[in-house]
Chains A and B, each alone.
Chain A
């Protein structure tokens, strides 16, 4: 497990044609993610977070540069990667039960029925939805729907789990629960997690590392290690002076980035 799930982003750039001209969404992004790491990517709104994520997951091909998963170039959605989207309401299949929503990617992979059923049940237990097998997604609350999407990703047994602002549309309390769920899943499964968010506190609370992006055309403005204890708690971790220092630093970085800066501010010392 430890040596698979490494991700390298090399000079990735993306330019969209718009009318007669073109818009440079991402100028050049490079970073490496070790196997089993939990990295949060945060940046000012409109900085191309979603574009970056789509390039990472093989849904969009970059204009320049490349993405390597375990040394192999990502040219199409890789088998060992699962994606959780922000719009849970639009990423779950409303005509399929919760069971079939989680099971369909496994069916596509050719997993036999019994094995599939087991994996689906286990994944739903993991997210605390063991009793919702036969429900339809739209019968569940927003937070529960996003849990189903996470269960689908877990059942897929990925090496890399990519999450695109997954909790942007749920209420604050549900969000806190889901954040702890992501930490737990990450620790239980030992997968690499790339978590894109616009929420600064969330990025510091969740991540082992925070990548701060500049505003568009985007580069990596700062690569910050989060030196908080591994066991995190919504109340005590967020009350740590170090947490406040880090979040203030990331916040300043983003303000700095919004003014058009491309270089980091000096780091806070621990």
Chain B
């Protein structure tokens, strides 16, 4: 009786242990290594933690963190909308696909970072340039995955829809997009990680605010603990974004995971 009652508690503890165990060990290793070293480039974790609180819970939260997150959110959302809309159109229209596919291969191969100088010339050095940089890199995984997903709808399902005359917007909403959603979600996952990288990089050029700008600023001013605290913050944002993605994916793809679980027995 007590054992069965304790089991969920033990399970939860084990899950926390697994999730936090390695980060705790890494922190310990960092602390031990920096304790003996006199190098100013590798401050001990306590110093970084103090710098973290002092830097990011102050005005920098509104002048740097929020603008960065805003650009990231707008860039990623635009990429998802453009990618899904264009991808659906291209995936369902054969001539459009034949026309555009070689072009896509070219653009996809161009690293988005090299577009920064070009976009700076075109859009100036403001937010629109930075958002454009994010979109230029993030739109591809969503777009190409949507094209593949929309094209790959099961023929039996397509014939079922045709014979029951489920067409147009209804077919898009209830058949085509859900059928493509596992691939679209995989594209969005990639889009998020690329977006975070491009957010930082775009802020390292000709910028006066944002996390990327601030980290480079700290580095140039030899504020090493502050610089490290910015890197820690980026990592934490990455974890938060991945967690939010996980929640959204479980909601959108609950049928897909359920189906695979059943298939596995």
| A binding-site residues for B, Cβ under 8 Å | 54, 57-59, 77, 79, 81-83, 85, 87, 90-91, 93-96, 100, 104-105, 107-109, 136, 138-139, 152, 156
Contact = CB atoms under 8 A, between A and B. Distances in A.
17 contacts: A54-B159, A77-B164, A77-B165, A90-B154, A91-B159, A94-B256, A95-B178, A95-B256, A104-B166, A104-B174, A107-B170, A108-B166, A136-B259, A138-B255, A138-B258, A139-B258, A156-B164
A79 B160 contact: no
A44 to B, nearest CB: 23
Contacts of B163: 57-59, 77, 81-83
Contacts of A94: 255-256, 259
Contacts of B179: 95
Contact of B164 (A54, A82, A138, A139): A82
Binding site secondary structure of chain B: helix
Interface string B139-165: 000000000000000101101101111
B114 interface: no
Interface string B156-194: 110110111111001000110011010000000000000
Interface in B83-135: none
Given A59-B159, A85-B156, A91-B156, A136 B255 contact: yes
Of residues A58, A87, A95, A139, which shows the largest number of chain B Cβ atoms within 10 Å of its Cβ? A95
B170 to A, nearest CB: 5
B174 A96 contact: yes
Contacts of A77: 162-165
Contacts, number: 70
A91 B162 CA distance: 11
A89 to B, nearest CB: 9
A161 B255 CA distance: 29
Nearest to A83: B163
A109 B256 CA distance: 28
Given A83-B160, A85-B160, A108 B165 contact: yes
B262 interface: yes
A139 B262 contact: yes
B93 to A, nearest CB: 20
A33 B256 CA distance: 41
Contact of B170 (A85, A90, A95, A108): A108
B165 A105 contact: yes
Nearest to B166: A108
A170 B25 CA distance: 54
Contacts of B157: 90-91, 93
| Closest 4 pairs between A and B when the two form their complex, measured CB to CB | A105-B164, A90-B156, A95-B178, A83-B163
Interface centre among B164, B258, B262 (most CB of A within 10 A): B164
A77 B159 CA distance: 10
A243 B162 CA distance: 38
A216 B156 CA distance: 23
Contacts of A58: 163
Contact of A87 (B156, B170, B256): B156
Interface string B41-82: 000000000000000000000000000000000000000000
B162 A59 contact: yes
A83 B160 CA distance: 7
Q: Which of B165, B256, B262, B263 is the most central at the interface, judged by chain A CB atoms within 10 Å of its CB?
A: B165
Contacts of A104: 164, 166, 170, 174
